[in-house]
Structure 1
Amino acid sequence: MQTRSIPTTVVVILLVAHFHFGVCKRNFGSAHDWIDYFRSVSSFDRQYALHVVRNMFDFSYGHYMQHAFPADELDPVHCTGRGHDHEHPENLNINDALGDYQLTLIDSLDTLAIMGHVEQFKRAVALVIKHLSFDRAVRVQVFEATIRILGGLLSAHLLITDPSQPFGDLRPVWYDDELLAFAHDLANRMLNAFDTSATSLPYPRFYLGPGLRDNTTSETCLSGAGSLLLEFGCLSALLNDPTYASISRRVVLNLWSRRSSVTGLLGATIDVNTGNWIDRMSGIGAGHDSFYEYLHKSSVLFGDRQMGSMFEQALHTLRYHLRTNGSSCLTNDGQPSVYWNLDMYSGRKSNYWIDSLQAMWPGLLVTSGDVTEAVCQHALHYFIWRVHNLSPERYDISTETCPLPFYPLRPELAESTYFLYRATGHPFYLQVGKQIMESLKQHAKARCGFATIHNVADKSQEDRMESFFLSETLKYLYLLFDESNPVNRNELDYVFSTQAHLFPVRRIRSLLDQLDTNPFSTLEHITAQKNSCPSPKLPRSAIPLKKDLWQKIGTFVNSGLDLFSS
């Protein structure tokens, strides 16, 4: 398959039309203008948006390769590369993710394939094989290395070796499973983090270099320790070795056993030596999010009934304790449906802020079948986004302020927007995707890529482009507009990792069937997957919620955006 492209003449017409009539020039004189804006999206607009997102990726990836590779990240303002901060090992904001291992390139591999860049994908694979080495005295985080590097290597290997070649012939003629070998090597080094723990919970960080162990910090978070199973499980399936899946699955069960006996809730951080909770805050955002995500996705990808049952139990508990509106979000009684952060033992509210990672929750609800609740949750995060047309890392509802005002180009709102569009087909979500795209172009574009927004209020930039911008944010926006993409044509056969890496369900389950000892002991044989979340009956209007509920959510967030005011 060749790179999908739009003829130059069509691109010129699209650009001229968008300049005169597009979102960036649009003035909404009345509420009816807003309503008309959300009512539909033409194929013309969709093709334009697809072209823009692809160009955003090509622009950023191209500058990374030109100015930064083989460094981990691109500094898009000064057009330089960034790697592990060896002079300041305490700089965890950098050093947890950056290990001098071509992070952005590896994290972007399956995005290249999804966008149809076949030859670039092959060149990228060759560069990874030529330059990658883990023989470095570098300390990185188990979680980040797993979801970005291990996941990126495994996803690319699965795409290369897929006999059906849905994205074209991605296999270099000389390929001999080198990416899988790298993944195997990395996972073995990572096992050091498990060997030194008295509870079987992994230490949060490990040294890449052989013979080095790190036990200086024993505090790890729920999601950091409990979100390894998809990648470790796929590795076990590909290697025909249950070791990695068994180790990571045991961690999940261990954490699950430490729920509060009073509320059934889990905390935020735990001491891996004692098993005691340190931060007792329970929530669905930072420190918690992907733990619940991987419970559900492990049941889908591996057929693990126990993980699925645990997810359903967790979902019930979270709704009962954390959600303000005890009944359906559509009943419109009391406050809008919000999942607050609570003390895991007392159930008392810990704070009134909502962090940007919580915006993944609507997408998780969609994939687990609760589309109606997902619509309401997405509306909440969309209104928060509308305050500054960017998502602050943390927004405090009680003070209407942003205690953490930066935006590092996170994907969560785009992710949930994509899944809700796939589930409902409502054009509102296409328009939201266009707004996110335009806002990124307007505020985050820098000389050599797209930059972290230091403060969403004044739109000041910070010289960093994290790898998840290419791995997740642009991938989800691209898939939102590319109806004919192989991912969308075969969406029931793919599971996205928390880093948006693709794992094929049927193939992984088939490989697991060949294991002598299956770590997912309750594996259910796959026949044919059916859509478990049929499209709900949404209001026949420009927005997917009734007017009064939409207004209530907007007033609650106090974004000042009332689409129905005259």
Structure 2
Amino acid sequence: MLPRKRVKIAIALFTLLVILSFLSTSPSKPTRIQHKFTRKAQIQTARQNAVKREFLHAWTGYKDHAWMADGLMPLSGSRKQQFCGWSATLVDSLDTLYIMGLDDDFDEAVNATLTIDFTGTAGDCDVNLFESTIRYLGGLMAAYDLSNDARLLPKLVELGDMLHSAFRTANGMPCTHCKLGAKRGVLMASNSAPLADVGSLYLEFARLSQITRDEKYMKTVDFLSNTFARAQDQSSIVGLWPEIVIPSATDGTDPMFVKANFRYSLGALSDSAYEYLVKTHLLLGKTTKIYESMWKAASKQIKRHLLFRAFIPHADKTEVIFPGIVTRSRIVNQTLLEPRTEHLACFSGGMFAMASRIFNEPDDFHIGEQITNGCVWAYRNSPTGIMPEAFTALPCSDNDGRQCDWNGSYWEQESRRPAHCQDADCDQYRFPPGFLQVSDPSYKLRPEAIESVFVMWRMTGNEHWREVGWSMFESIIAHTRSAFGHAALLSTMETYDQDRYEKGLMVRKVLARRQDDMESFWFAETLKYFYLLFSEPNLISLDEWVLNTEAHPFRLTAGIRGF
């Protein structure tokens, strides 16, 4: 018979072995967002330099023809004013200049930024609170976080205080388009606003509070998030918020904040309101669980109602999901899906992928991967190699959770030309197989698809995503490059023979028609994501930075960050 002491030791050792065995077989909680890269993850220098050359081409056009303007018109070389004339392209580009190592240009741009009078001119125009927050406040904050240039801090506070005054309303909800400034009295909260305009303000003001240690910004963030959390179960699809909300109607016994609209989407009007649940938790999650709670309620309904599979050719047995648009009234308990997807919604692939690590939901990674696959398919199968702004697909007839096989006969039956259609009126039906309708064929130099491709690369280390991104880049540059920069496209679905000068020679090419517009997010987002895709993985690591919806990186703080 063993002595009692030896029995206790044996029991303790057995218990320890059971625990270790359980830990070795049970799924472990992720400890990082990015893939654990090895030394083999090299910079793709030639591709990275190609991206930088295109950035410098457009930046030189801006400097030479539209310096200090909101934007450059890349075909005519003219300048445009868009957001109160506060040099949107200049401020939006600061951190990209820094990330690309363009030190002299960065210093020149910072010096110019310091001359912008935000408060003195805020009363002369209706300030677009959302765009000013993500482009100007986000741009200044990222430049400060990256460079630690102390000169930027007073300018950051000047702008932050002016934008923060938009919340000086009777119910504390913002006025999304108002004349702002210290001299303004009590404002009126907006009677109607896109969901994204009100639900995408947490991240910037929360980071501003961290940097300045001024709690007034965080109090506003907390008030705003609590308002959205309360309203989450009041809409016609519990857990989601409709595309249009009413900031002025949050009080009373039956507040109408989320009850006057019945359309739900991940695209235009909504997009970053859902993105910011994940990213604000990443910034603040050790201090509050409200964003995690809202995300889990929302993501459940997004997966249930907004995502669909479609009949598409050339998918190469790849699982593909598209985000759609749904309508559900409070009277009729039925959800109607409109299988129309938007380039703007392509960000959601990266959103779901990151959320899968942050909230330890492995299945959500595959959701994100499949959404990204859908956007990549739309790029690869359009005539220009570029996804249109919005198109309608044909939903799979079986909702069994798997990708349906291409059925050419069924496609021809469902997409046939109407009998009354005459040749001159049939352009809308001349789309490649898989594109049922294209309601908006334009390309506005948007970044959302390459954003998700970038996130997939950083999270998997799979070189497939770099190859995909390079193909996208080559197509975009081929069609958008102009004399002074890069131009938005009128249509990604049609091409024409065009003559261009290249290296002193006239060359005829098949290209898309362009329009005289180049948004500041071309510098801030699209080219930045392409550059980071081919950079070393530690440059703006997703484990150390959170990028706002304009791709401006904010530094994560140990002890506060949520992952």
TM-score range, shorter chain: 0.7 to 0.9
| Number of aligned residue pairs | 434
Is structure 2 residue 242 aligned with structure 1 residue 267?
Answer: yes
Task: Note if contact 1:319-1:339 (Cα within 8 Å) is conserved in structure 2.
Answer: no
State the 1:131 CA deviation.
3.9
Task: Note if contact 2:165-2:182 (Cα within 8 Å) is conserved in structure 1.
Answer: no
Question: Aligned runs of 1:13-32 on 2, under 5 Å?
Answer: none
Deviation by residue 1:283-337 (Cα, 9 ceiling, x = unmatched): 2222222111111111111223221222122111221233347xxxxxx99x954
Match of 2:136 in 1: 149
Letter in 2 for 1:109: L
Deviation by residue 1:361-381 (Cα, 9 ceiling, x = unmatched): 111112112322222111111
> Aligned partners of 1:221 and 1:229: how far apart in 2?
16
Task: Note if contact 1:102-1:132 (Cα within 8 Å) is conserved in structure 2.
Answer: no
State the 1:248 CA deviation.
2.7
Deviation by residue 1:48-68 (Cα, 9 ceiling, x = unmatched): 211110101111111111110
Match of 2:535 in 1: 482
Question: Aligned runs of 1:237-252 on 2, under 5 Å?
Answer: 237-252=210-225
Return closer, same or farther for 1:72/1:408 CA change in 2, 3 Å cut-off. Answer: same
Is structure 2 residue 191 aligned with structure 1 residue 227?
Answer: no
> Aligned partners of 2:322 and 2:389: how far apart in 1?
17
Task: Note if contact 1:409-1:469 (Cα within 8 Å) is conserved in structure 2.
Answer: yes
Task: Note if contact 1:267-1:282 (Cα within 8 Å) is conserved in structure 2.
Answer: yes
> Aligned partners of 1:481 and 1:338: how far apart in 2?
26
> Aligned partners of 1:211 and 1:278: how far apart in 2?
33
Task: Note if contact 2:138-2:204 (Cα within 8 Å) is conserved in structure 1.
Answer: yes
In structure 1, runs of 5+ residues without a counterpart are 1-41, 85-97, 162-170, 172-176, 326-331, 511-522, 530-566
Letter in 2 for 1:80: S
Q: Which residue of 537, 540, 551 corresponds with 1:500?
A: 551
Is structure 2 residue 432 aligned with structure 1 residue 438?
Answer: no
> Aligned partners of 1:61 and 1:225: how far apart in 2?
31
Return closer, same or farther for 1:474/1:336 CA change in 2, 3 Å cut-off. Answer: closer
> Aligned partners of 2:522 and 2:322: how far apart in 1?
27
Letter in 2 for 1:139: D
Q: Which residue of 196, 201, 204 corresponds with 2:173?
A: 201
| The 10-residue stretch of structure 1 (179-188 or 224-233) with the greater mean CA deviation from structure 2 | 179-188
Secondary structure of the equivalent of 1:450?
coil
Match of 2:269 in 1: 287
> Aligned partners of 2:41 and 2:543: how far apart in 1?
24
Question: Aligned runs of 1:540-559 on 2, under 5 Å?
Answer: none
Match of 2:325 in 1: 341
State the 1:385 CA deviation.
2.1
Task: Note if contact 1:341-1:351 (Cα within 8 Å) is conserved in structure 2.
Answer: yes
Match of 2:104 in 1: 119
Return closer, same or farther for 1:240/1:357 CA change in 2, 3 Å cut-off. Answer: same
Normalised to the residue count of structure 2, the TM-score between the two structures is 0.72
Match of 1:100 in 2: 85
State the 1:185 CA deviation.
1.9
Secondary structure of the equivalent of 1:318?
helix
Match of 1:65 in 2: 63
Deviation by residue 1:268-288 (Cα, 9 ceiling, x = unmatched): 111222242433211222222
> Aligned partners of 2:470 and 2:344: how far apart in 1?
20
Letter in 1 for 2:242: G
Q: Which residue of 458, 463, 471 corresponds with 1:422?
A: 458
In structure 2, runs of 5+ residues without a counterpart are 1-39, 251-255, 310-315, 357-363, 395-414, 416-435, 495-511
Letter in 2 for 1:267: P
CA RMSD of aligned residues (A): 2.6
Deviation by residue 1:483-529 (Cα, 9 ceiling, x = unmatched): 25532xx43111111110011112xx56xxxxxxxxxxxx57x8xx6
Letter in 2 for 1:372: H
Return closer, same or farther for 1:222/1:451 CA change in 2, 3 Å cut-off. Answer: same
Task: Note if contact 1:135-1:208 (Cα within 8 Å) is conserved in structure 2.
Answer: no
Percent sequence identity is 27
Match of 2:284 in 1: 302
Letter in 1 for 2:248: N
> Aligned partners of 2:188 and 2:71: how far apart in 1?
27
State the 1:43 CA deviation.
9.4
State the 1:46 CA deviation.
3.2
Return closer, same or farther for 1:278/1:460 CA change in 2, 3 Å cut-off. Answer: farther
> Aligned partners of 1:223 and 1:120: how far apart in 2?
32
> Aligned partners of 1:496 and 1:482: how far apart in 2?
16
> Aligned partners of 2:173 and 2:389: how far apart in 1?
28
> Aligned partners of 1:249 and 1:221: how far apart in 2?
20
Task: Note if contact 2:457-2:465 (Cα within 8 Å) is conserved in structure 1.
Answer: yes
Normalised to the residue count of structure 1, the TM-score between the two structures is 0.72
Question: Aligned runs of 1:324-403 on 2, under 5 Å?
Answer: 324=308, 337-344=321-328, 345=330, 346-369=333-356, 370-386=364-380, 387-388=382-383, 389-398=385-394, 400-403=436-439
Letter in 2 for 1:282: Y
> Aligned partners of 1:55 and 1:469: how far apart in 2?
14
State the 1:104 CA deviation.
0.5
> Aligned partners of 2:218 and 2:200: how far apart in 1?
12
Secondary structure of the equivalent of 2:231?
coil
Letter in 1 for 2:177: R
| The 10-residue stretch of structure 1 (208-217 or 129-138) with the greater mean CA deviation from structure 2 | 208-217
Task: Note if contact 2:66-2:79 (Cα within 8 Å) is conserved in structure 1.
Answer: yes
State the 1:443 CA deviation.
0.5
Deviation by residue 1:405-428 (Cα, 9 ceiling, x = unmatched): 221100000000001011122222
State the 1:260 CA deviation.
4.4
Match of 1:316 in 2: 300
State the 1:256 CA deviation.
2.9
Return closer, same or farther for 1:208/1:390 CA change in 2, 3 Å cut-off. Answer: farther
State the 1:209 CA deviation.
5.1
> Aligned partners of 2:72 and 2:180: how far apart in 1?
22
> Aligned partners of 1:58 and 1:347: how far apart in 2?
52
State the 1:404 CA deviation.
1.6
> Aligned partners of 1:54 and 1:381: how far apart in 2?
24
Secondary structure of the equivalent of 1:392?
coil
Return closer, same or farther for 1:501/1:115 CA change in 2, 3 Å cut-off. Answer: same
Secondary structure of the equivalent of 1:130?
coil
Return closer, same or farther for 1:311/1:121 CA change in 2, 3 Å cut-off. Answer: same
> Aligned partners of 2:519 and 2:306: how far apart in 1?
31
Q: Where does structure 1 differ by over 3 angstroms across 4 or more consecutive aligned residues? A: 42-46, 131-134, 208-217, 260-263, 335-339, 344-347
